[in-house]
Amino acid sequence: MPGKIQPFTVRQKMLKTSYEIYHYRDSYLKDVMLHHHDFYEIYLFLNGSVDYIVESRNYHLQPGDILLINPYELHQPRFTQRGVSYERIVLWLNRNFVEQFSTPQTSLTRCFDSSQTGHTNLLRLPLAGRQRISELMNALVSESTNRNYGGDLLAISHLIQLLVALNQAAEHLADHHELADKSSPIISSVLSYINEHYHEKLTLDGIAAQFFMNKYHLSHEFNRLVGTSIYRYIIQRRLIIAKQLLLDNVPPTVVYHYCGFTDYSNFYRAFKAEYGISPKTFVAMSQES
């Protein structure tokens, strides 16, 4: 039975330390910026006309498609036709909460691990698999608001069954569904280069020279495929790494140097512009949760 439709919010921060699940349906939405989360995301696409970018990978979504996105991956929906009903169920999972249910034999977060051979963000399952995932997601939507006796345990039961089913599907599905694009291989190489050298001085001119490309062509293709400029991607990647270091108790006045910022004031301004809080406030809030 479909879950209750909830009003969409642009909030990208979890309010709970376990999980949050939302069933959304909208006909008109403003463009969503390229962004990332500090948590795992499971996204069940139900209806609409949407392409979805995860890093440089572009997927044209079909009803029943499932996206698996980890905290390190920048992503963004692109609406290919306005006014069409856009419906999806979105599940956010706190990393520590999920990992406590894993065992030495069974990792419930393996399906999110982009370093795994053959990894894909999109699962396009056979009919029976789609129905099973849809049933579990809708049951979780219903039980997440159940305040009756046992409702919390039923919800966790559905959640664990869902994660097991997704990991099983991810392990056995060999098909990839990225849209083919002649520039994808080179842009993927550029992303890998940035991700390996984020702590160094990086410029458009330098990256273009590294790949023997015209900088204007590189800039255009990068923006088209990734959804943002090379400069902004570098800043976002550095900030993602910075947040991980802050969570590992590295002082903010040391983090900026590891992440390629020229000084603390530039790091501070970039962090606050991206997340709305200072690095020290982020650390304090993380310690409270």
Give the mean model confidence (pLDDT) for residues 169-190: 81
| pLDDT at 8 exceeding the cut of 90 | no
Rounded (10°) angle between helices 184-197 and 230-247 = 40
Instruction: Decide the pairing of beta strands 19-26 and 122-123.
Output: unpaired
* Averaged pLDDT score across all residues of the chain: 90
Q: Which residues of 175-200 are buried (b: 16+ CB within 10 A; e: fewer)?
A: eebeeeeebbebbeebbeebeeebee
DSSP assignment letter at 82: T
User: Which pLDDT score is estimated for 289?
Assistant: 62
- pLDDT 10s digits, 32-81: 888 899 999 999 999 999 999 998 889 999 999 999 999 989 999 998 88
pTM attached to this predicted model: 0.87
Do the domains 184-288 and 19-172 match in fold?
no
Torsion on CA atoms 246, 9, 152, 154, rounded to nearest 10: -110
Bridge partners of residue 44, in order along the sequence: 66, 89
User: Is the alpha carbon torsion for 222, 228, 7, 240 positive or negative?
Assistant: positive
Give the mean model confidence (pLDDT) for residues 103-132: 92
Percent of residues, the chain, with pLDDT higher than 90: 68
| pLDDT at 142 exceeding the cut of 80 | yes
- pLDDT 10s digits, 83-97: 789 999 999 999 999
Are the CB atoms for 23 and 83 separated by under 8 Å?
A: no
The letter for the amino acid at 154 is: L
- Which residues, 6+ apart, have CB-to-CB distance to 57 below 8 Å? 121, 178, 184
User: Which pLDDT score is estimated for 174?
Assistant: 66
Of 232, 195, 194, the closest CA to residue 210 belongs to 194
- pLDDT 10s digits, 147-166: 889 889 999 999 999 999 99
CB atoms within 10 A of CB 248: 8
Q: What are the residue boundaries of the structural domains of the chain, listed by start?
A: 19-172, 184-288
Are the CB atoms for 108 and 99 separated by under 8 Å?
A: yes
Q: Which CATH class is domain 19-172?
A: mainly beta
Are the CB atoms for 70 and 112 separated by under 8 Å?
A: yes
Alpha-helical segments (H) within the chain: 95-99, 127-143, 151-172, 184-197, 204-210, 215-226, 230-247, 252-258, 264-275, 279-288
Strand ranges for 6-65 from DSSP E: 19-26, 40-47, 50-54, 57-60
What H or E segment, with its residue span, contains residue 91? Answer: strand 86-93
Cα distances (angstroms) measured from residue 270 to each of 110, 143, 203, 275: 32, 39, 17, 9
**pLDDT band at residue 1, thresholds of 50, 70 and 90?**
very low
Rounded (10°) angle between helices 230-247 and 279-288 = 40
Are the CB atoms for 93 and 41 separated by under 8 Å?
A: yes
CATH topology of domain 184-288: Arc Repressor Mutant, subunit A (1.10.10)
- pLDDT 10s digits, 205-243: 999 999 999 999 999 999 988 889 999 999 999 999 999
